[in-house]
Amino acid sequence: MRSKGYRFRIFLFFSLLVILVINVGSDLLISRYLPGEIKILVNEERDFLFNVPLDAKINGNLEGVVMVNQEPVKDNLVLNLQKSFTIKPKKTGVIDVELKLFGILPIKTVKVDVIDKKRVVPVGKTIGVTVYTDGILVLGTGLVYGEDGKKYNPAKGKLYTGDYIKAVKGKQISRKKELIEIVKKNQGEQIELDVIRNDKKQKVNITPVKTIENNQYKIGVWVRDDTQGIGTMTYMDLDKKTFGALGHGITDVDTKQLIEIETGEVVNTMITTIKKGEDGVPGEISGIIVGGEGNRLGEIKKNTSHGIFGEASNEGIDQVLENDIIPIGFRYDVHEGQAFIRSDVSGKLKDYEILIKKIYLGDESNKGMIIEVVDEDLIKTTNGIIQGMSGSPIIQDNKLIGAVTHVFVQDSKKGYGVFIENMLIEE
């Protein structure tokens, strides 16, 4: 016969297991329905029904700040998220909401950002993008043949893919030609490099090797200091003179990492060819990046996982002045069904019909909704979503709700979109 102590330990074990399962399950549930940050408009009443076993608690003095279920609240508000409720914020600002499972277990804190109404121009224009790295990006190391005919790999184990070279011998550099010139002038003496690796500063010493083919000194490293591509501008904010584009970040083709940029620009692009998408083979826009006076649309200030952002130029603003200005729609405005994407792939700006097939309200990446192209004109032109259309504005109920980000490789008519509020958080 087993003791009471044994039975108690078994009971305790299964109790803890149940709590663990509930916690894990609730985390998955919350990540699906509740993001880490929610934006809502001041003085706009909004209905919510999450239908999850959580309590939402707001501490502090709330008098004059928010109305719940059309009633004023003074302090320490607690909401049952299994029931429907309405909220009408009365002031702009940030409110931290603590979520508890069954009112007991702390799960997550959600930041509610109450903002003024925002209206922007949904652009949809194909753009050329050039970014310059913040430092020189290391792609990898390689062999060099010394003047003695032997193989050397002077940077192996010292520089790694994804490193950013910021300075050589104490001198700040940002371009490949500067690094080449310093190595050349150093005549084989050891040089010290200041490197950023995984966001941490490092000092690296490398001795250049004099090569047999041209008697030049080299350190055996492949590097890059800029990159170019074609995408789509999502919006311009004419009041702030800012823009957002792409809906996803610019990653290096070799390192697959988000590029840390010093600066960059977006310019006009002349589309030359459209390669239609096929099942298993994504299509793409090919074009000529048109620089020079009158073609510069803006300066890139940030490269993030939700897009590129920066200051719009006067030329860029002039090109969208005749476009419509519409309100922003947040994730809780989005619904399944008809919507439109704006693009100039046909040679002129046009809105094309799509269907929003699925919505992931808690998504904080750039895949918050699944979309499907149903517009016959766009299907004839591109067969759906193709590379270069990333950033195309998604419009629903005359609100800008998001941007196209990815195409399904196996079905070019389908893809992902990012919520516009995720882009605005990064702006």
Q: What is the mean pLDDT of each run of 10 residues along the chain (427 residues)?
A: 51 44 47 72 82 77 76 78 84 83 78 87 96 95 92 94 94 92 90 94 94 88 94 96 96 90 94 92 92 89 96 92 92 95 95 96 85 97 96 98 96 96 89
pLDDT tens-digit profile of 104-159? 778 778 888 888 888 999 999 999 999 999 999 999 999 999 999 899 999 999 99
Residue 4 gets which letter from DSSP? H
Contacts of 220 (CB under 8 A, 6+ apart): 141, 142, 143, 144, 152, 153, 154, 155, 156, 209
Q: Between the CA of residue 98 and those of 27, 54, 59, 111, 365, what are the distances in Å?
A: 14, 10, 9, 9, 22
* Buried b or exposed e, range 76-105, using 16+ CB within 10 angstroms: ebebebeeeeebbbeeeeebebbbbbeeee
Pairing of strands 200-206, 126-141: unpaired
Secondary structure class of 308 (helix, strand, coil): strand
* Buried b or exposed e, range 144-176, using 16+ CB within 10 angstroms: beeeeeeebebbeebbbebbbbbbbeeeebbbb
pLDDT the model gives residue 2: 53
Residue 279 gets which letter from DSSP? T
Contacts of 293 (CB under 8 A, 6+ apart): none
pLDDT the model gives residue 4: 52
pLDDT the model gives residue 198: 92
* Domains observed in the chain: 14-115 (2.60.40), 121-137+225-427 (2.40.10.120), 143-157+173-219 (no CATH)
Secondary structure class of 101 (helix, strand, coil): strand
pLDDT the model gives residue 25: 46
Q: How far apart are CA 377 and CA 25, in angstroms?
A: 44
| Polymer length of the chain | 427
pLDDT the model gives residue 75: 72
Strand partners, 275: 284
Q: How far apart are CA 415 and CA 408, in angstroms?
A: 5
Q: How far apart are CA 18 and CA 26, in angstroms?
A: 12
**What six digits make up the tokens of 385?**
């979503």
**What six digits make up the tokens of 21?**
């399962």
- pTM for this prediction: 0.84
**What six digits make up the tokens of 371?**
């979309």
